[in-house]
Amino acid sequence: IQLDGSHTPAKRGGEAVGYQGRKKSKTTNALFLTDKNGLPIAMSPPFAGNHNDLFEIESHFQKMLADLQLSDISPDGLFMNADAGFDSKKLRENCQKMGIIPNIDHNKRNRKKAYYQDIIDEELYKERFSVERTNAWIDAFKILLIRFERKADNWASLHYLAFILIFLKRNF
């Protein structure tokens, strides 16, 4: 599975909105889990964009894994690719507790000392491109490219509709 986050500009404000300096606007953030083909399989609850992807990662990750388990997908034994923005001891420990093998790129700015011995599988990490492609597929839906909904649940529901359309387009 692949893990990545996405900041969406929120032009009308609303729930789960915060100023993101890099985008110079108010944004909403969400995390996505995809399979190796880039099909979205889980989404975190939306949260304010003034936080990085690791903000409350434990609760967001648990919510996504709970959604997987509701769909009869066991996380045990899965490999998870994530970029350097997700390089944290807490996320790695959370993954291992759930039986997921983390393959997370090293964040050189985040490392003062080697607090764990981990090895990244470069061949497996190349598959992370699929989640970036999924973000592009999601951005192809103009209604999701810029958030105009004031309610966070409505915005998340539109993502689930996009996930259904992506699944149908790729499989039929």
Give the per-residue pLDDT at 5: 87
| Total-model pTM | 0.82
Give the per-residue pLDDT at 114: 56
All residue ranges of the chain with pLDDT < 70 are: 110-118
**How far is it, in rounded angstroms, from Cα 15 to Cα 157?**
14
| Residues spanned by the domain of 157 | 2-171
Give the per-residue pLDDT at 162: 94
Cα distances from 103 to residues 32, 158, 164, in angstroms, run 16, 30, 27
SS3 55: coil
**How far is it, in rounded angstroms, from Cα 116 to Cα 79?**
18
CA 167 to chain centre: 17
Q: What is the CATH number of the domain that holds 115?
A: 3.30.420.10
Which candidate, 85, 30, 23, places its Cα nearest to that of 54? 85
Give the per-residue pLDDT at 160: 93
Give the per-residue pLDDT at 55: 80
Q: Domain count of the chain?
A: 1
Residues contacting residue 72 through CB under 8 Å, at least 6 positions apart: none
SS3 169: helix
Give the per-residue pLDDT at 137: 92
Give the per-residue pLDDT at 22: 75
**How far is it, in rounded angstroms, from Cα 74 to Cα 149?**
33
CA 139 to chain centre: 14
Give the per-residue pLDDT at 116: 55
